[in-house]
Amino acid sequence: MGERMKGDNAPGPTRRDGFYRRDPMAWLEQDVAKRYLVERIIRLLMLYLAIAVVVILSREAVWALWPKPPSAGYSLAGFDPDYMKHYYPDAVSAAHGEGFTDPQTHHLDTRYPPGYSAYLAGGLLIAQGTGVNFVLLRLAMDNLLVVPLTCLGLIALWRMLGMPIAWAICSALAYALYPPYVWSSLIPTTIPLFTFLLVWTCVAWAAIPRSRRPVLLYVACGVGMGLSMLVWPASVLLPFFAALLMLLRRVPLKYAVCVILSATVVIAPWVESASVAEHHLVPLSTGGPPTLRDGMTRFPANAAAQAFLQEPKGGLTAGRFVLIAAKEVIFHPLASVELWGNKFLHCWYATDVVGGRVEWLLAAMNAVVLGVAAWGWKGLRRDRRVSPQRTMLVYDMLWLLAYFWMISTAVLSILRYMVPVAWVPIAYGVFGVCMLWQRRAGARAAAGTTGIPRPEGNAAATVGTGSP
């Protein structure tokens, strides 16, 4: 580069730089843009660290107050037997380069998809390389990485809907402190990782209306749905559900096909391997039929449920399930209404681990959450800051909630299936409270600027009459 301009000791453009001679302000604009980018990155890191601190403190409080802290054996065997029976052994096999196979039979384990086992296998390799205890490392991965990044995704999502940054942060922290989500991040479950993938898929979905190249975001949505299916097969119908919404809104067919194909490409290698190992088509896992039947074990006295319980544990396919449900609606309508009504309500408080008083507490807590969320959603629809295009995204989040509510009702009907989407009603409830607080603050400020003294006693009759 040539000599510096006279009288300018600061680093800057040179005489031989033709670009800066044509546009003398370009260097200043680039410098401002770089500083703005650095400031945004610093603020994002500070927000991430603040969320991580809140997450760690809340988990430490639960850990300290719980009668039996979730140690390795207690939490794994007592709260998630599938972890010790499937996820962890598959992860050990994968870490040793043997694929996701059962260590005893050396046969491909198709009971669950391999997404969570791959996540654990990565943690095992890190633990082996560093000498860190794997249980502590898994807790750190979930609570220092996955949960804070999920909260950042929620903040970005609600900011796209036009919510103030303070409201978005409050909604993300409210979900991070949601007791079932807190507990799910302390024990080894698929919920934290699945929620992370689901939230960031929703972020890509929400960014589509403002994108000049929506096809890339549709591909990202499909990839996110495919990865979430490999972690938890409950989202197996989610790409088709999203495509149906797109077609109902007259989105070009090519974009709907793009979402489905992207998700299919992600899961295709696993589906092929599982189908070859089982000698028949395996959509995602072989755990579907047993799970459909297990969902009826809570209602052994119900006549409609007995028809499902009479089926073999491994023979209740999805088609057979729908056929029996339709037959029971015809021959036992009252029992069917009772069965599906109970399963519909059980989704928000039932658990496959504990019962009694804990379930009643969960029912009361979630009744308040859903009630406040319905009130907040009603106010959110009328908020002028939310454009009609963004209102459609508000409805999309409700459709997402409805999808998982439907899946949970059909399968196990437990709260664990609703925790990954509980951030939707929690956020709507937080927004409702924030809007109420803002309206009251605005009313107090308006009353203070009018100069009218607050009436007391009989003085209320003199206000507006000209009397002192």
**pLDDT value of position 320:** 86
Examine residue 17 and state whether it is found in any structural domain, yes or no.
Answer: no
Q: What's the token pair of residue 452? A: 């009218």
Is 450 a domain residue?
Answer: no
Residue 468 lies in a domain: no
Query: For residue 202, how many other CB atoms are within 10 A of its CB?
Result: 24
| The predicted structure's pLDDT at residue 462 | 41
**Looking at residue 9, what is its pLDDT?**
52
User: Per-residue pLDDT tens for 69-127?
Assistant: 444 334 433 456 788 889 999 999 999 998 999 888 889 999 999 999 999 999 999 99
The whole-number pLDDT of residue 269 equals 95
Residue labelled with tokens 């043997």: 98
Q: What is the pLDDT of residue 38?
A: 81
pLDDT at 449 over 70: no
Q: What is the CA radius of gyration of the chain?
A: 27
* Of residues 8 and 218, more confidently modeled: 218
Number of helical H runs and strand E runs in the chain: 21, 0
Q: What is the pLDDT of residues 347-379, one digit of tens each?
A: 999 887 545 678 888 999 999 999 999 988 887
* Whether 211 contacts 255, CB under 8 Å: no
> What percent of the chain lies above the pLDDT cut of 90?
49
> Range of 436's domain?
31-442
Bridge partners for 108 per DSSP:
101
24 located within any domain: no
Q: Let me know if 295 is exposed, middle or buried by CB neighbors in 10 A (0-12, 13-18, 19+).
A: buried
Cross-strand bridge partners of residue 14: 4
In 105-190, alpha helices (H):
115-130, 134-140, 147-160, 165-176, 179-186
Task: With respect to residue 16, please indicate whether it lies within any of the assigned structural domains.
Answer: no
pLDDT band at 272 (very low <50, low <70, confident <90, very high): very high
Tell me what the mean pLDDT of segment 20-37 comes to.
Answer: 61
> What pLDDT is stored for residue 439 in this prediction?
80
Q: What is the pLDDT of residue 26?
A: 58
Domains contained in the chain, number: 1
Cα–Cα distance, 28 to 12 (Å, whole number):
9
**Residue indicated by tokens 């205890």:** 133
pLDDT at 255: 95
Which two structure tokens, joined as six digits, stand for 436? 């109420």
pLDDT of residue 389: 64
Residue scoring higher pLDDT (40 or 174): 174
Residue 295 has a pLDDT of: 82
In this prediction the pTM is: 0.85
Determine, yes or no, domain membership for 329.
yes
- What is the tens place of the pLDDT at every residue in 215-269? 999 999 999 999 999 999 999 999 999 999 999 988 999 999 999 999 999 999 9
Mean predicted confidence (pLDDT) in 372-388: 76
Q: Which residues have C-beta within 8 Å of that of residue 105, sequence separation ≥ 6?
A: none
pLDDT of residue 316: 77
Would you say residue 128 has pLDDT above 50?
yes
Q: What is the mean pLDDT of the chain?
A: 83
Whether pLDDT at 385 is above 90: no
Task: Answer yes or no: is 212 within a domain.
Answer: yes
What does 226-270 look like in DSSP terms, one character per residue?
Answer: HHHHHH-GGGTTHHHHHHHHHHHTT--HHHHHHHHHHHHHHHHHH
Burial class of residue 212 (count of CB atoms within 10 Å of its CB; 0-12, 13-18, 19+): exposed
For residue 463, tell me if it sits in a domain: no
Whether residue 214 contacts residue 252, with contact meaning beta carbons closer than 8 Å, is answered with no
Distance CA 198, CA 196 (A): 6
Cα(first)–Cα(last) distance of the chain, in Å?
79
**pLDDT at 62 (0 to 100):** 83
